[in-house]
Chain A
């Protein structure tokens, strides 16, 4: 027995790595195993050396584990990817694995040197995940649900907004892109809406490299303005810089981050330098974007009214167009092919003392509609330095500049999409300007969409710097301190214009607004970490921390009306103008503690507590404490199933957590505001919102239960989670009667419960050296319920001005519940006519008007949120070829297509341009029954009355057709979508030898390539009210979602 001698060299390597990765229990265990098993090593060992590289870019894989299966013998690769291991004569196989890569099993044969390439594992759940405050933890030790998405899954979609790349990949979250406009924002909600407030922000906290950053969406015109699809600020981040995104779904996972993470947290780790050879990498991608789904339009009827031709009438209710008349499809005219040109250059390198990473990214995008564009430049540098064994210093700086233009869209009638919807089919929209520069207009009610796009738009410029600096000092191998300070600072300039000749400028005589918004967030995190083994098998690690957050914003806006000169585009050209300034300051101080106890790799207990002090709450209520506790139990350890080949791992977990949430600044009490000057005098007037002086923090209380299972040597994994989250004491502006002198008062009230089921199934279906197939399925089912409403408030209604479709929050209901009017039907279970349509004077009847039902009476017609959502991703690898495809689906849930209403009839600006109105000028007998009795004692007979149908008789009639939910645009928004397909080819190393590159990958990627949905209209995924607006399901007013096909090339050298 020559214990351990042969493994001396690798042993040293292992030791150093363990110091570096001291949180990695797995390697720690491995070391123990090695020490124990080494005693049994045989004398006639041979040394096998080799190098492990990444199949994509042929770079060294540092820290990969090389093991001899069945023996416990192993080593890890060094900074050049090199390894060396001794094998007994009967040992002929090596297992090579590393986090984020597919495991390789090799036959050694007679070889003494092995080139091992590891393919990146696109979807496999990684063993180590990033949790709160960047603490990496083994997945198996967690008592709550965390899901991580790796860089490749994000980057292969080529989505300029990295949030969109997460679609369909993570259970329990819902991502909604507000529009297909370049630079448009997206919205992420984790485990449902927590707030009753229609204006509340339900966005999670975003943390990049340990420092919270802004993901605000400053909607132009405020929330509910809805005229422009502003960017959510996380979209500024260069997707190519991202290493992983970890989603902390529930309060148990995010509690340590405090009140700002009450809606969960999105933890982003960006790329940093890797020791070893300096690697340069260049990626370029070019896309073809188009709108793939448009509402059907009619091309048979001309302008006019009631069948009479009128060239100046905006309504397409004229006579049939003569044969041979040229017609134009509104959407073919309006939409064009857009392009994105993405370029990214990065470099990385270093040694064991210092590393660096730098990147330069550039995106140029032209949209699918006139006057839409977006360009973004990202520069990032990251460095780390290890002056001594105990001290690590790192820092990064990220500069972002972006510039975008979008025309005015929006919920009102004055938007590009809205105008195009109502354009008569025989008019060539592209002929829109007269030689003298005046617009071509055939009606005083309609603007030409092209002319409008060029004259009513927003230009937005952003300059942002995100920087952070970190110090880590290890006092001993069990105690270290980590201090990190970070700043996120941006200035956002907005220029909005509506030039005088526009119809919407009638009253204003042209308007301009120049807004200057700044945001500065400084975070200081101090964290003291200690860990140790209390007794055999019982490990404790404790962190104590302090976090100070200071957020300052300014918003200076110069705006006005009355152009002095017709073409001078500046606020200096306004006859009437005001300047307004709205600064705000919000500071939060938090102290927290986190204790983790693990017992024999079987039981894991985690307890946290945090106290926050927030400046936005009344002094008496501004300090608040909240705890969390979670427990994980690996029952397979107890059962001794560690080596079981069928059930290889099993864990039960449970967690309880509370998180508090403060208010926005300045919500307490009541203020007066100065008015715009009038005849040289400006007055003051009381504001319409009053805030309770007793405001307390909101609280979210969450329970979470789950099970994690792994089968067939960890090749198939199933994670299932059930979570119940109650949000109580919500800070809500409660709408009040205007007769109180206010429109709302802000108080704590109401409770919402979210119940969510999350399933995640991940399997390596085929895993051989040349061919691999991974599949991953995730499923989310969310149910929300309003448990109580603010006292005395029965209902909070959104959009009360459309009584036929409105969202209403009330006790027992669910956020997103819609109420509206339906076609009247016989409601008499005893009658043979039960359920038949009620026909009055030959026409269908809406909202029981036949019996004189009040307009205010309506009924539940559906919910805006899906019954369930799922994503199914597959990645296949054959030698250098990779194919991945991702299907996403949403089943159930409705959307209200504001656009569809505009395609009908002639009441409030609608024009019968939709193909729904194709059927005109004929007699029809509606299939239904007529009442020949009285209202109280109806007597139903089969309807036999033939009536003419047309725009004025039917489609524009509120109580026959237009306002019934069956026709008014309210529709099932279910879909199945091929969200992403990516096909790539990586040249093998053998072909690269004569080229100056170490890696070449070419790929074709498609986003949104195919979808099927019962929804008629544009893509139902949209948000008319913008990201973070908390109003979901209103669609049809913005640039629709686009389909993109990218050609891209990655080079490393």
Chain B
């Protein structure tokens, strides 16, 4: 009995003394607190998320500019660009804004400049796809559970431009006081070289002015000015290079996949094979795709589903330039800058336009590793070397089309010209069009995730209705 009494006492003491320590255990030991996160650890996540977002926009969306074909999306079935929406709002935008807030508080404008450049690029890409998107009310957590959308006009006229202007300012500000932040760390793209980031910021703004020139042609001169201040060679390209163990997403999606759910379209293949606008075989054909068999390269007709086109014989494989494991994912390039210059100079200065056109083609070819003698031969072919006076806008846009292979920017280009067959020679609508009235596709459907969780949705017409920028 006495022993039992002692046992009870001991248990009682144990109990009382340990209550608090038993209950104060709700901090997750496996995760990082907001205080522990730092700018140098947020930046690499932001860069990866930005590349994922750019890839996501192009992954299925590239069927609209008819690079690849084979999925129902190419038949204009409703598509909400989930692959763009999710990484943008769940990863890229929160991390970039997190960097901007922390960097401005720490006066680390080197970091904020980079983040603003990338955010400007992503917002422009997203609004070009969706039109209206949430921005001023976005990323506020429980502070705003139903973010309303900003219109494309607001985004273009206020938000994107102010981000890009601030980026350019920030990137020229003095380095921060704090030693740990003075040099940008963990920058996968330019290794902390702010000169390079400044060029990239100009490049994004050049693209921005070119887009907006669709509504106000006077802005072409701004585009020229910024493009001139941007990249000076392929080495400057804003691109994330992947590694063997963390492969480029195109590698997993198509390059290394046994079951390829998309294949190069007949429009692209015909263009490269010299059966369309340029009657010369393009050396990039064998770099962009792999052919099986000895027949002439042939693609899948836009609107046809994968497996329905028996004569198609080219594929995106792991040995193609864009879909190898260690391929860079291009976000904005020197070649694009040259085509922006060509297009912007075209109405006023044909010679400058032609020179830029040639530099763009050459940059594109050399970028993907075409041998110098093949580059020379191709550049000298009469189909390409048309001379300044014979240069057409079609030449510029089609060569830009080929240079920006698998980038979503081309879809914006096509819509700027409203799929004009005079520009995009031989371009045809998909053989199956699920949008009533058989229009060209103009925009994304509303993001599939949104209905049901956001009560502040804009009216989104069908995907055949033109966006503000392209009106």
A685 touches B138 (CB 8 A): no
Nearest to B19 among chain A residues (CB) is A589
**How far, in Å, is B39 (CB) from chain A's closest CB?**
11
For residue A294, CB closer than 8 A to chain B, the reply is no
A738 touches B85 (CB 8 A): yes
Q: In the assembled complex, which residues on chain A have CB atoms less than 8 Å from the CB atom of B310?
A: 310
The interface stretch among B112-120, B168-176, B205-213, B238-246 is B238-246
Q: Which residues of A contact B95 (CB under 8 A)?
A: 685-686
Which chain B positions have C-beta within 8 A of A741? 89-90, 93-94, 138-141
How far is it, in angstroms, between the C-alpha of A675 and the C-alpha of B186 when the chains are bound? 13
Q: Which of B28, B36, B48, B138 contacts A740 (CB 8 A)?
A: B138
On whether A507 and B449 interact (CB within 8 A), knowing A616-B26, A679-B243, the answer reads: no
Interface string of A797-808 (1 = CB under 8 A from B): 100110000000
B97 to chain A, nearest CB (A): 8
CB neighbors of A among B87-118 (8 A): 89-91, 93-95, 98
- Decide if B178 is an interface residue (CB 8 Å cutoff): no
Q: Given A583-B29, A737-B449: A575 and B245 within 8 A (CB)?
A: yes
In the bound complex, do residue A509 and residue B144 qualify as a contact, i.e. CB atoms below 8 Å apart? no
B293 part of interface (Cβ distance < 8 Å): no
Question: With A313-B307, A445-B307, A613-B19 given, is the CB distance from A526 to B11 under 8 Å?
Answer: yes
| Interface 1/0 per residue, A738-749 and B, CB below 8 Å | 111111010000
* Interface residues in A, total, Cβ within 8 A: 83
A-B Cβ contacts below 8 A, count: 208
Judged by a CB distance under 8 angstroms, whether B259 is at the interface is yes
Pair B42/A665 contact, Cβ less than 8 Å: no
Among B4, B33, B141, B251, point to the contact of A742 (Cβ < 8 A). B141
Is B2 on the interface with A (CB-CB < 8 A)? no
Q: Is B258 an interface residue (CB 8 A)?
A: yes
Contact of A735 among B19, B34, B91, B453 (CB under 8 A): B453
Q: Chain A residues near B145 (CB, 8 Å)?
A: 736-737, 740, 745, 792
In the bound complex, residues from chain B placing their C-beta under 8 Å from that of A509 are 256
Residues in chain A near residue B98, CB distance under 8 A: 686
Q: Which residue of chain B has its CB nearest to the CB of A667?
A: B26
Query: Which residue of chain B is the closest to A526 with respect to CB atoms?
Result: B11
Would B34 and A670 count as touching, CB distance under 8 A? yes
Q: Is the interface of B mostly helix, strand, loop or mixed?
A: loop
Contacts of A906 in B (CB 8 A): 305
Q: Per a CB cutoff under 8 Å, which of A550, A583, A800 touches B30?
A: A583
* CB closest residue in chain A, given B307: A313
B23 contacts A by Cβ under 8 Å: yes
Pair B259/A444 contact, Cβ less than 8 Å:
yes
Q: Which residues of A sit under 8 angstroms from B447, Cβ to Cβ?
A: 738
Indicate whether B17 reaches chain A with its CB closer than 8 angstroms.
no
B89 contacts A739, CB within 8 Å? yes
A483 to B310, CA, bound (A): 77
Task: Give every chain A residue within 8 A of B49 (Cβ-Cβ).
Answer: 685
Whether a CB of chain B sits under 8 angstroms from the CB of A690 is: yes
Q: Are the CB atoms of A684 and B141 closer together than 8 Å?
A: no
A730 CB to nearest B CB, Å: 17
B465 located at the interface, meaning its Cβ lies under 8 Å from any Cβ of chain A in the complex: no
Q: Is the CB of B44 within 8 A of A683?
A: yes
Neighbouring A residues of B134 by C-beta, 8 Å: 737, 739
Say yes or no for A856: interface residue by CB 8 A criterion. yes
Q: Is there contact, CB below 8 Å, between A685 and B26?
A: no
**Contact mask for chain A residues 531-553; partner B; CB cutoff 8 A; 1 contact, 0 none:** 00000000000000010101000
B142 touches A745 (CB 8 A): yes
Assess whether B454 is interfacial by the CB under 8 Å rule: yes
Instruction: Decide: B91 and A685 in contact? CB cutoff 8 A.
Output: yes
CB < 8 Å: which of A668, A683, A743 contacts B26? Answer: A668
Which A56-79 residues have C-beta < 8 A from chain B?
A: none
Residues of A within 8 A of B33 (CB): 671-672
**B190 at the binding interface (Cβ < 8 Å):** no
A683 touches B23 (CB 8 A): no
In this complex, the member of A314, A562, A686, A740 whose beta carbon has the largest number of chain B beta carbons within 10 angstroms is A740
Closest to B256 in A: A506
Contacts of B23 in A (CB 8 A): 587, 589, 613-615, 619, 622
Give the chain A neighbours of B27 by CB distance below 8 A.
666
Q: How far is B453's CA from A797's CA once the two chains are assembled, in angstroms?
A: 9
**Is there contact, CB below 8 Å, between B48 and A683?**
yes
Also in contact, A736 and B22, with CB within 8 A (given A313-B307, A575-B244, A671-B31): no
A581, CB-defined interface residue at 8 Å: yes
Closest CB of chain B to A856's CB: distance in Å?
6
Task: Give Cα distance in the complex from A376 to B470, angstroms.
Answer: 67
Interface size class of B (residues with CB under 8 A): 35 or more
Contact A683 B34 (CB under 8 A): no
Most chain A CB inside 10 Å of its own CB: which residue of B4, B307, B455? B307
Most buried by B among A583, A678, A800, A801: A678
Give which listed residue, A473, A665, A681, contacts B28 with CB less than 8 A.
A665
CB contact list, A5-33 vs B, under 8 A: none
Q: Is the CB of B455 within 8 A of A792?
A: yes
Q: With A313-B307, A745-B142 in contact, do A684 and B94 touch (Cβ < 8 Å)? A: no
Q: Contact between A673 and B90 (Cβ–Cβ < 8 Å)?
A: no
Query: Which of chain B's residues have a CB closer than 8 A to the CB of A745?
Result: 141-142, 145
Contact between chains at A672 and B258 (CB < 8 Å) = no
- Asked if A201 is at the interface of the complex by the 8 Å CB criterion, the answer is no
Contact with A along B5-42 (1 / 0, CB 8 A): 00000010001000100111111111111101110011
A688 interfacial by beta-carbon distance below 8 Å = yes
Q: Taking the complex as formed, is A907 at the interface, i.e. its CB lies under 8 A from any CB of chain B?
A: yes
Residues of A within 8 A of B94 (CB): 686, 741
* In the complex, A855 has a CB within 8 A of chain B: yes
Q: Is B192 an interface residue (CB 8 A)?
A: no
Task: Check A681–B36 contact: CB distance below 8 A.
Answer: no
B429-471: CB near A (< 8 Å → 1, else 0) gives 0000000100000000001111111110000000000000000
Considering the complex, give the chain A residue whose CB is closest to the CB of B133: A739
Find chain B residues with CB under 8 A from A736 CB: 145, 453
Inter-subunit contact A687/B138 (CB<8 Å): no
Contact B90 A743 (CB under 8 A): yes
Beta-carbon contact of B15 and A740 below 8 Å = no
Residues of chain B with a CB closer than 8 A to A305's CB: 307-308
CB of A506 within 8 A of CB of B257, answer yes
What chain B residues lie within 8 Å of A1 (beta carbons)?
Answer: none
Query: How far apart sit A314 and B258, CA to CA, in the bound complex (Å)?
Result: 14
Chain B 63-99: CB-based contact to A (< 8 A → 1; otherwise 0): 0000000001000001000000110011101110010
Q: Is B449 touching A738 in the complex (CB atoms < 8 A)?
A: yes
Taken together as a complex, chains A and B put the C-alpha atoms of A426 and B208 apart, in Å, by 57
For residue A314, which residues in chain B have a CB less than 8 angstroms away from its CB? 307
A679–B22 contact, CB under 8 A? no
B291-308 with Cβ < 8 A to chain A: 305, 307-308
| Distance of A503 Cα from B245 Cα, bound (Å) | 19
Q: Please, how many angstroms separate the alpha-carbon atoms of A678 and B98 in the complex?
A: 20
| A672→B307 contact, CB < 8 A | no
Report the bound CA distance from A587 to B85 in whole Å: 39
Return chain A residues, CB-CB under 8 Å to B308: 305
Q: Is the CB of B253 within 8 A of A507?
A: yes
Q: Confirm or deny: B43 has a beta carbon within 8 angstroms of a beta carbon on chain A.
A: yes
Closest 3 CB pairs of A and B: A507-B252, A683-B45, A683-B44
User: Could you jot down 24 A-B contacts, CB within 8 Å?
Assistant: A506-B258, A507-B253, A507-B256, A524-B11, A562-B245, A575-B245, A613-B23, A614-B23, A615-B25, A668-B26, A672-B36, A673-B31, A678-B48, A678-B246, A683-B45, A685-B42, A686-B98, A735-B453, A737-B145, A737-B146, A737-B450, A739-B134, A741-B90, A792-B146
**Inter-chain pairs besides A445-B259, A665-B25, 15 sampled, C-beta below 8 Å:** A483-B11, A508-B252, A550-B22, A587-B23, A613-B19, A615-B22, A682-B44, A684-B32, A737-B449, A738-B447, A739-B147, A741-B89, A741-B139, A742-B141, A800-B448
A residues whose Cβ falls under 8 Å from a Cβ of B: 305, 310, 313-315, 444-445, 473, 483, 503, 506-509, 524, 526, 546, 548, 550, 562, 575-576, 580-587, 589, 613-617, 619, 622, 665-666, 668, 670-676, 678-679, 681-688, 690, 692, 735-743, 745, 792-795, 797, 800-801, 852, 855-856, 906-908
